[in-house]
Amino acid sequence: MNKNFPFTINPLPYGYDVLEPVIDKQTMEIHHDKHHQAYADNLNKILEQNADKQKLGLEELMKSDIAGIKNNAGGVYNHDFFWSVMTAPNTSKMSESLKVVIEKNFETVDEFMSKFELGGLGRFGSGWVWLVKTTDGKLEIVSTANQDNPLSDGRQPVLGLDVWEHAYYLKYQNKRVDYVKAFWQIVNWVKVEDLLNNS
Ligand code: MN3
- Which of 51, 84, 117 is the endpoint of a domain? 84
Element (H, E) at 184: none
- Which residues are part of a known binding site? 31, 79, 162, 166
pLDDT at 182: 98
Q: How far is the CA of 148 from the centre of ligand 1 (A)?
A: 12
Report CA(146)–ligand 1 centroid distance (Å): 9
What's the CATH code of the domain at 70? 1.10.287.990
Interval between CA 100 and ligand 1 midpoint (Å)? 31
**Range of the structural domain that residue 120 is part of:** 96-197
Cis, peptide link before residue 13, omega less than 30° from 0: no
What percent of the chain has pLDDT above 70?
A: 99
Question: Annotated binding residues for Mn(2+), as ranges?
Answer: 31, 79, 162, 166
- When divided into structural domains, the chain yields a total of 2
pTM exceeding the 0.75 threshold for the entire prediction: yes
Judge if 110 and 167 occupy the same domain. yes
Q: Does the pLDDT of residue 192 top 90, yes or no?
A: yes
Rg (CA), the chain: 16
Structural domain includes residue 106: yes
Q: Is the dihedral of CA 59, 63, 66, 67 positive or negative?
A: positive
Q: Does residue 1 lie in a domain region?
A: no
pLDDT tens track for 77-111: 999 999 999 999 999 999 999 999 999 999 999 99
CA 30 / ligand 1 centre spacing (Å):
10
Residue-wise pLDDT for 140-188, tens only, equals 999 999 999 999 999 999 999 999 999 999 999 999 999 999 999 999 9
Domain identity same for 103 and 165: yes
